[in-house]
Each structure stands twice: as C-alpha cells, then as structure tokens.
Amino acid sequence: MDFENKVAIVTGAGQGIGYEICLHLVMQGANVILNDIDAPLAEAAVKTINKNAAGKCVAMAGDSSDTEFIQKMVDEAVAQFGKLDIAIANAGITLFGDFFNYKPEAFLKVMQVNLAGSFFLAQAAANQMKQQANGGAILFTSSVTGHQAHKDLAAYGMSKAALEMLAKNLVIEVSQYKINVNTIAPGATLTERTLGDESYTEVWNRITPMGRPAHVSDIANAALFLVSEKAKHITGQTLIIDGGWTSVSPSPF
C-alpha cells in the first residue's frame, strides 16, 4: 500500500492503536496530523515516529470532540500539506458502569467523544475532500462491543454500534464525491493499557479462537487497507478484527 504524499488526520493517537496507525502511515510516506488530548504524549509520539520516517508527523493536542478544534485540525492539515486525503476518527472513551446506576454525565461524555467527535470529524473532512474533488477516505473505530453485549458497557457498546450505522448512512452522502467510509471493530488488543495485566492476556489467550488477543499492528494493518487506494470500492462496511472471538463469543467474565 503506497501512501506517499497522502495527508491524514488520526485522532486519539498518542499511544495504542492510533499511534500504530500513524506510525504505519508515516513509514509508508504519508504526512499525518497526530491528535491526542494529552499534549506531552502527542509530542513524544511524534518525536518517535519522525526518527526514521518517510513522511512527516505533526502533533496537534486538543479535544477531538470539540467542533472548533476539529476544524482547526483540518485547516492545519491543509495549511501544512496542501490537502486532506484520509480522516481516521480513532479517539474514544470507555466509562464502565452498572446500567441501573449509570450517571447522565458519564453517558453524555461517552456520546460526545465517541459519537460527536467522529461525526463532526467526518463532516469537516468530507467538506474539505469535496472541495478538492479528488476523493478521500474516512474511517471510524468501533469495537466488538458494538456487536456483542459486554458487562457494564451498555453506553459504550451503543456508541460503537452507532458508528457502524453512521458509516452506512454516509455512503448516501459522500459517494458522489469519491469518498469512501468504513469502520474497523477491534476486539481484545494488547496496548499500553492492557499489556501489564497478566489476567487480561491469559483470559483472551484462552477464549480467542486464534489463541491470542490482537497486537496493535493487526489493527493498524486493517485500518491502512481500508484507507488505501486498494479499498476504494469498499464503503459502508465494518471489518471486525478479533481473532474470531465474535464468532463464538465466550464471556471473559
């Protein structure tokens, strides 16, 4: 997959899946706006990525669910690199909670970050791509919890399922401008948050048909395919990356 001179925005990318996506894009020649709400984390990520990069990575710290900041990211991509080809709405928040006691403020936070942030990044990116008249790719990050019920994740799972419907609906809106929109749905994945938890690895090794949870590179490789020129005729789809877990769905609890 050739991303030379492609320009991308990736949100929630200071570490984990988002970071790995940025790394793969830049190593293959793309210029990337790397966003994270944590400024030191974003700057450190960019410094590491740019050490042996074919493209260029630029940090933009800020709230990816804020519509004014979203537009600033799009404007910065165009100011720095002259265009925008790819928008990956990866930022998300997980707030566990018992349904019977789930707080309105937690619900609204999950919806603002996971849904509003993704919706308005897609909107701003599509408007820019429409002006450029040469197409583009938009990618949302869902989850297997949008397909299978998970304990204490009613609000989160709801938000992730909604992203998949959003991708389907945007096919109607943006296909005429040669923009494709898809979603990835990662399953259990080894990230900075889960690597130190031996019980997490043990459980998901046992209940995943492929024998292990995903590595971040597994998710990044799928994401890069869907935003590449090789996937231009694929749109409105969700790709589940879970080692087969949703096919059998044993509970991790």
Number of Cβ within 10 Å of residue 77's Cβ equals 25
From residue 229, how far is each of 86, 186, 226 by CA, in Å?
11, 22, 8
Q: Choosing from 130, 156, 168, 200, which is the catalytic residue?
A: 156
User: Is 36 exposed, middle or buried, given 0-12, 13-18 or 19+ CB atoms closer than 10 A?
Assistant: buried
Residue among 67, 10, 61, 65 at smallest CA distance from 36: 61
Q: Is 160 a catalytic residue?
A: yes
Q: Verify whether residue 156 is a known catalytic residue.
A: yes
Between the CA of residue 210 and those of 162, 225, 245, what are the distances in Å?
27, 21, 8
**Element of type H or E holding 234:** none
Q: Given 6, 130, 151, 160, which residue is catalytic?
A: 160
Report the C-alpha gap between 38 and 60 in whole angstroms: 10
Enzyme catalytic residues: 156, 160
